[in-house]
Amino acid sequence: MSVAIQREVEQVDVFIMGKRYQVPKGLTILKALEYAGYRLVRGVGCRAGFCGACATVYRKEGDFRLRVGLACQTVIEDRMYLTQIPFYPAVKKTYDIEQLRPDADTILRLYPEVTRCLQCNTCRKVCPQDLDVMRYIAAAARGDIAKAADLSFDCLQCGLCTSRCPAEISHYNVATLARRLYGRHLAPPAPHLTARIRELTEGQFDKEVAQMRALSPDQLQTLYAERDIEPEELVPVSKKDED
């Protein structure tokens, strides 16, 4: 698929755990590590910004700021100082989701440290998904489970928030609890699903299934070619608007 185009690739310097390497410009941090010769076992998973395995801390020369990002989604810059955080210990409580109530009590009982939040907002600043982490923790602490679930939905569980939190909160595990509470106890079960499961247990499709099983391959193919396709309904995909 590629049309060969020869070009000189500009090289940049990166410092991997303090050691200098020259790598081609434009690579992601992940690919730069590999280019430099590191066969990664830790700190890599999906390679596409979905699994949160590749949390990375870096500094740029001449800048006091400590920056963070996903190695698979961040492009290197000249004279970057890199290291990965392949693992960061976090608190994960165990529970029976059935038995829990979706309220502040539950959150405070399982993760009481949420009340230690200093509102420094570091968690939000480091989140590679740009989530409002501090606000979802606040929502969880006051029992607004729906808001905590919604605001934390896109969390990849990379753990960068947890690594930087002065109050030592394991944000992403609080978020998981909030989402499961919401999904289990607050969102109504789908009524059409209940109906379909009843139909299935009552054997309402048995006859149709038997008929379809009896069709010859040719009959099946004809039926397929002639099946009607439900038109696409062009309404906005609705989702509750939060704020």
Partner 1 sequence: MPYPEVMAESVKKVEATRERRLRETFPRLTPQEKKALLESYHPDYRSETFRPLAVGPNAGQKVPNELADLLEAFSRIDPDTFDLSRVDYETDVLIIGGGGAGTAAALTAQEAGTRVLIATKLRWGDANTIMAQGGIQAADKPNDSPVRHYLDVMGGGGFVNIPQLVWALVLDAPLVIRWLEQLGVMFDKEPDGTMITVHGGGTSRRRMHSCRDYTGMEIMRTLRDEARNRGIQALEFRPAVELLLDDAGNCVGAILYDLETEEYLVVRAKSVVLATGGMGRLHVQGFPTTNHYGATADGLVIAYRAGAEMIFMDTVQYHPTGAAFPEQILGQLVTEKVRGLGAHLVNCDGERFIYELETRDAVSAAIIRECTTVGKGVVTPTGMVGVWLDSPMIDLLRGEGTIRKALPAMVRQYERFGIDITKEPILVYPTQHYQNGGIVMKEDSSTSIPGLFVAGEVSGGVHGRNRLMGNSLLDILVFGRRAGVSAAQWAKAATLGTPTLRHVKEYHEQLIRAGINTDRISPLVLPDYTAPHTRIRRLGGVPVG
Residues in touch with ligand FES (CB under 6 A): 44-47, 49-54, 70-72, 156
Q: Which helix (H) or strand (E) is 12 found in, with range?
A: strand 11-16
Distance (Å, rounded) from C-alpha 32 to C-alpha 75? Answer: 9
Chain residues 143-162 in contact with partner 1, contact rule CB under 8 A: 149, 153-154, 156-157
Which of ligand FES, partner 1, none binds 26 (CB below 5-8 Å, type-dependent)?
partner 1
Minimum Å gap between C-beta 101 and ligand FES is 33
Minimum Å gap between C-beta 19 and ligand FES is 22
Q: Which of 14, 28, 56, 107 binds partner 1 (CB under 8 A)?
A: 28
Reported for 27-32, long-range contacts at CB under 8 A and 24+ positions apart, including other chains, are 27/75, 27/76, 28/71, 28/72, 28/73, 28/74, 28/75, 28/76, 29/54, 29/56, 29/58, 29/69, 29/71, 29/72, 29/74, 29/75, 29/76, 29/80, 29/82, 30/54, 30/71, 30/72, 32/76, 32/82
Minimum Å gap between C-beta 158 and ligand FES is 7
Distance (Å, rounded) from C-alpha 36 to C-alpha 58? Answer: 17
User: Which one, 117 or 131, has the nearer CB to ligand FES?
Assistant: 131
Which of ligand FES, partner 1, none binds 38 (CB below 5-8 Å, type-dependent)?
partner 1
Using the structure block, give the residue that is written with the tokens 């990166």: 14
User: Which one, 54 or 169, has the nearer CB to ligand FES?
Assistant: 54
Could you say whether residue 42 binds partner 1 (CB under 8 A)?
A: yes
Could you say whether residue 49 binds partner 1 (CB under 8 A)?
A: yes
Which of ligand FES, partner 1, none binds 193 (CB below 5-8 Å, type-dependent)?
partner 1
Binding mask 157-186 for partner 1 (x = CB under 8 A): x------------------x--xxxxxxx-
Helix or strand or coil: residue 143?
A: coil
Sign of the Cα pseudo-torsion (48, 50, 55, 59, in order): positive
Could you say whether residue 91 binds partner 1 (CB under 8 A)?
A: no
